[in-house]
Amino acid sequence: MRILVYFAGLMSISRGVPAIEPNINYPMTMQQPAHVTFRFAAPHDAETVRTIEFEAGLRFVSVGMSGIADAPPMCLALIERKIAAQEIIVAVDVDGTCAGFVMFEPQPARIYIQELDVLPLHAGRRIGAALIEQVAQLARSRKLMRLILSTYREVPWNAPYYRRLGFREIEEAELDAALIARRDAHVARGLDESKRVFMQRDLA
């Protein structure tokens, strides 16, 4: 999506990978996608994360944004650092394959969602929404009460999608120094920020 569930103690499913906050009992807030479990990404998931990002990005061809579809995925070193920091959560299907992931960055008072991607094969299963909810519950457990992201304003599976998940647009006057710096970094990378928007979801 390129920014862009049940919670009764999440179960770890393979190779001893830790589950997410296993000692916290979360309230049921949404229906979990059938046969999907969630865990922090492990070192062996790094290449899979890159593959998911690339394949999910191909969808942008359908809205005339082939430049995004053609962009290389994140570098392996970055993904490995995020995995080591436990800042990537993967959605794992019943056969043990990764169907999607969310990458995030804890910040003071909030978590910034850096990347959310689901394999096109698994579209429509609400895996993306469930991954967002995983981050929301993790944020609550750390007393961080906001989720922030940056995404395309008009792409159907970007800002309109996040609105349905409870996000709202952040007005220009609300942007803090960190978000302005991030926007400047996007411009330096060649992103057209006139087509993008920062969004926020407040967590109860």
Asked whether residue 31 is assigned to any structural domain, the reply reads no
* More confident site: 164 or 5: 164
pLDDT given for residue 51 in this prediction: 96
Query: Does 34 have pLDDT greater than 70?
Result: no
Asked whether residue 20 is assigned to any structural domain, the reply reads no
- The mean pLDDT value of the chain amounts to 85
Asked whether residue 107 is assigned to any structural domain, the reply reads yes
pLDDT given for residue 69 in this prediction: 85
pLDDT given for residue 10 in this prediction: 33
pLDDT given for residue 134 in this prediction: 98
Asked whether residue 58 is assigned to any structural domain, the reply reads yes
pLDDT digits 0-9 by tens, 119-129: 998 988 899 99
pLDDT given for residue 33 in this prediction: 74
Query: Does 168 have pLDDT greater than 70?
Result: yes
pTM for the model stands at 0.83
Confidence of residue 22 (pLDDT cuts 50, 70, 90): very low
pLDDT digits 0-9 by tens, 43-67: 999 999 999 999 999 999 998 888 8
Asked whether residue 28 is assigned to any structural domain, the reply reads no
Query: Does 202 have pLDDT greater than 60?
Result: yes
Query: Does 146 have pLDDT greater than 90?
Result: yes
Asked whether residue 111 is assigned to any structural domain, the reply reads yes
What is the rounded distance in angstroms from the CA atom of residue 42 to the CA atom of residue 147? 23
Asked whether residue 24 is assigned to any structural domain, the reply reads no
Asked whether residue 139 is assigned to any structural domain, the reply reads yes
Confidence of residue 70 (pLDDT cuts 50, 70, 90): confident
Query: Does 97 have pLDDT greater than 70?
Result: yes
What is the rounded distance in angstroms from the CA atom of residue 82 to the CA atom of residue 9? 23
Q: Are 107 and 178 in contact (CB under 8 A)?
A: yes
Query: Does 3 have pLDDT greater than 60?
Result: no
**CATH classification at residue 100:** 3.40.630.30
Q: State the amino acid at position 59 in one-letter form.
A: R
Number of domains in the chain: 1
Residue 146 belongs to what domain range? 37-202
